Structure 1
Amino acid sequence: MDELTKFAPRPTGAGEMFQLLRDGQPRTRSDLATTTGQSRSTIAARVDLLLASGLVSPAGEATSTGGRPPATFAFNPAARVVLAVDLGATHARLAVTDLAGTVLAEHGEQIAIGSGPHAVLERVVEIGELLLDKAERPARDLVSVGVGLPGPVEHSTGRPINPPIMPGWDDADVPGILSSHLRVPVLVDNDVNLMALGEHTSQWRDVDHLLFVKVATGIGAGVISDGSLRRGAQGAAGDIGHVAVPGVVDLPCRCGNSGCLEAIASGPAIAAALTEAGVPATTSADVVALVRAGDIDAGRAVRDAGRHIGGVLAACVSLLNPSVIVIGGQVAEAGEHLIAGIREVVYRRSLPLATQHLRIVASRTGATAGVLGASAMASEHVLSAAAIDALIT
């Protein structure tokens, strides 16, 4: 027996049984025995282990069919907390949540991602510690951290890989930096993946095939297929912002190529086009403000951007066949102009079978999508069967 095997957690079976309780529905020991086919003594032993961990707690008594009413048990998401971190090009949003994604304390502020990993992540640690205090939770209750970054991330290592808008972040050890301060596991993913996860887990849990599209400083997509987030071989799935758009080859993109969707339809690209047309704008927020103020040129420019995005999404619809496409990000806050342009092209260019039941809708979670997704990723890491068995042993 090697050393790793010698000290590896031994499966207790409690972790697998805990998965039955994660829906929050109270169950009796008899219910669990019926569902699993295991003996009552085995069930009793595993329930006792889960009760001792705090992740399962008594939930009252079931209706009696004669004799003493049996006790019920349910998942206790308040037993531990996670820190959810959503970092964008110019913003940071953080929240302490319980293990069901309920926000206990939150904070948002402007940042410059170009300040580099150490400056930004030191601020993340500061805010995280303040939020734990605000939520009145001791540091020992924190069990994991989830982080979303605005660039490509190798999910297995949590390191950004050549992120176009994150100078100084390439191959930065984000999990190592944060875990050295917070002393818990740190998981990192692309921000759009986490927005897709947050929207799916909180709003569309019954939808197995969903595409989340973020339109802001950059453009990207998160792919939910068969109910799970799909990252691709190196975590680069959904990078639609750097798909070439026919007819705009001369427009340079910050990725180094020309003619990318992001170079023509992102917030800064729309702002640049408006400025050239005599309507001063610099950022996505400027574009949104102009549209909301009723500026005709801005509304037309956003709808045109939607048409370009729709052209790329029409190919995605043929490839992935989602039943819902959710449009989020700051430019989506301009209202129906963007979505109208997207719908116009997707429904025209895609096959009727693929669009027969397809819905293209605005994000329901808005600015909180990334934080909710980071919370879901961090919680899943500590609630898997293997993680529960490790905790108990």
Structure 2
Amino acid sequence: MLNGDDALDTQASVRRANLRRALQLVFREPGTQTRAGIARATGLTAATASSLVAELIDLQLIAEGAQAASTGGKRATTLSIDAAHHLILVLVVRPTDARIALVGLDGAEVETRRVAYSEESRDRMLDDALAEIAAAHRDRLLVAGVQLPGTTDGRRVFESVQLGWTDVALADRFEALLGVPVLLVNDVDAEAIAESAREQESSGYRLFIHIGTGIGAAVTLDGELAPGPRDRAGEIGHVQVQFGDAARPCRCGRQGCLESVASMTAMFGDTFDDALDDRAIEALAATADSERLADGARALARTIKLIAAVLDAAEVVIGGPARALGDRFLRLVQAEIDYTATGTANVPVRYADADASISTGVAQVALSSALGVRWSPAQLRAASASHD
């Protein structure tokens, strides 16, 4: 809506950039920002700032709120995010189920649903669910973000071992159903973005590792995703880490992959599923084979040690269903990496923020794609609190 190619129209480009700047200021301080505040922050005239605000109100992106505290003259009117109209559709695709959320411009989930399926019924079930949402909310949908395990350029799924997809034009397919732009996001990238989005600032490299039925990683630098030039950064699940008799068969057809020893399925068996809630995973962990857990932690720690040494990472964050493993597993991993290799520094390992919504990261990517703005950490916390 506010993003686009205005290279051939300088005036339109400047106007669009100023609209994004004004909108970002409201997103950063909803409920306290004013027209005068926008003028001061941007260096624009009061008249131009007022014109920008009027257009953003017409677009149903912001709304007027209460009057600000008096500073001696006429009290200014505050500006807030207009959460009553536009919706961001978030679709989180997993091997046996999908989670669908409609997210308001304030970051709060206004509707959620779960769709369970088999490998044979997956396409039909997803298409039917999206068609139903489009019929009910087509006039309010702004953009859609699809989170999935596998490599993607935002439009096509290059490869997803977990979903059994290779070179699938998924964005085109879903756009035909929804009638709005669709952006595909790797699941680990989305989690890493969600983790950074909830912080005021982040410095240095961070290694984010998702552990579920599969394993993937993402790297952020100063809170920004650091993708590779071929959209394959972080694909560590099928790198060989075990050899000889110790190498276990992996579902990719090879042996000794990291996923074959350190994924939740490898440590718990086929009773594990990404759709399980934390309580069910904790129950599995309580009866898990100690040797398998130790093997998984050891393989994961060796991988972490090497990557962290290459990046000089400030910290390592473990996300996904593995968070339900608790301190026991984290201690096993930390113990394996707590030695100082010559020339390196030890790196702390922690779990991802448990309060972050599963839709936060992909919703943020979709919002930035459509409007060129981001939610503030305070806004995301408030949205999470209102949902709870």
TM-score of the superposed pair, with normalisation by structure 2 = 0.81
Contact 2:146 2:182 in 1 (8 A): yes
Counterpart residue type for residue 21 of structure 1: V
1:35 aligns with 2:41: yes
Q: Deviations over 1:79-107 (max 9, x none)?
A: 41111111111221111111232111112
Q: Distance in 2 between matches of 1:8 and 1:165?
A: 47
Contact 1:94 1:128 in 2 (8 A): no
Contact 1:245 1:308 in 2 (8 A): yes
Which of 266, 283, 296 is the aligned partner of 1:289?
283
1:20 aligns with 2:25: yes
Counterpart residue type for residue 262 of structure 1: E
C-alpha displacement of 1:8: 11
Q: Specify which structure has the higher proportion of helix.
A: 1
Q: Deviations over 1:103-142 (max 9, x none)?
A: 1111224333x33763253144156459xx5xxxx42111
C-alpha displacement of 1:261: 0.7
Contact 2:94 2:163 in 1 (8 A): no
User: SS in structure 1 opposite 2:308?
Assistant: helix
Contact 1:314 1:349 in 2 (8 A): no
Q: Distance in 1 between matches of 2:97 and 2:44?
A: 50
Counterpart residue type for residue 314 of structure 1: K
State the partner residue of 1:375.
363
Q: Distance in 1 between matches of 2:222 and 2:50?
A: 34
1:70 aligns with 2:65: no
Q: Distance in 2 between matches of 1:39 and 1:290?
A: 62
Which of 232, 237, 243 is the aligned partner of 2:228?
232
| Structure 2 CA distance for partners of 1:99 and 1:287, relative to 1, 3 Å | closer
User: SS in structure 1 opposite 2:289?
Assistant: helix
| Structure 2 CA distance for partners of 1:205 and 1:171, relative to 1, 3 Å | farther
Which of 347, 350, 369 is the aligned partner of 2:338?
347
C-alpha displacement of 1:306: 1.3
Q: Distance in 1 between matches of 2:319 and 2:363?
A: 18
- Equivalence map 1:313-332=2 (5 Å): 313-332=304-323
Contact 1:191 1:370 in 2 (8 A): no
Q: Deviations over 1:270-322 (max 9, x none)?
A: 245xxxxxxxx643569753422xx3x62342233112101101112112233
State the partner residue of 2:266.
269
C-alpha displacement of 1:246: 4.5
Q: Deviations over 1:38-91 (max 9, x none)?
A: 222222222221222121211222222333212232333444111111111122
Contact 2:21 2:42 in 1 (8 A): no
Q: Distance in 2 between matches of 1:28 and 1:6?
A: 29
Q: Distance in 2 between matches of 1:74 and 1:373?
A: 22
Q: Distance in 2 between matches of 1:290 and 1:47?
A: 53
Identity %: 25
Aligned residues: 358
C-alpha displacement of 1:170: 1.4
- Equivalence map 1:153-168=2 (5 Å): 153-155=152-154, 158-167=155-164
C-alpha displacement of 1:265: 1.5
Contact 1:153 1:159 in 2 (8 A): yes
User: SS in structure 2 opposite 1:207?
Assistant: coil
State the partner residue of 1:388.
none
C-alpha displacement of 1:241: 1.2
Counterpart residue type for residue 202 of structure 2: V
- Equivalence map 1:190-269=2 (5 Å): 190-202=186-198, 204-208=199-203, 209-247=205-243, 250-269=247-266
Q: Distance in 2 between matches of 1:99 and 1:302?
A: 41
| Structure 2 CA distance for partners of 1:318 and 1:129, relative to 1, 3 Å | same
Counterpart residue type for residue 219 of structure 2: V
Q: Deviations over 1:303-353 (max 9, x none)?
A: 331121011011121122333322223344232232222211222256786
User: SS in structure 2 opposite 1:325?
Assistant: strand
- Equivalence map 1:79-98=2 (5 Å): 79-98=85-104
Contact 1:306 1:340 in 2 (8 A): no
State the partner residue of 2:124.
119
| Structure 2 CA distance for partners of 1:8 and 1:264, relative to 1, 3 Å | farther
Counterpart residue type for residue 216 of structure 1: G
Contact 1:96 1:128 in 2 (8 A): no
| Structure 2 CA distance for partners of 1:71 and 1:282, relative to 1, 3 Å | closer
Q: Distance in 2 between matches of 1:110 and 1:288?
A: 22
C-alpha displacement of 1:180: 0.6
Q: Distance in 2 between matches of 1:287 and 1:67?
A: 59
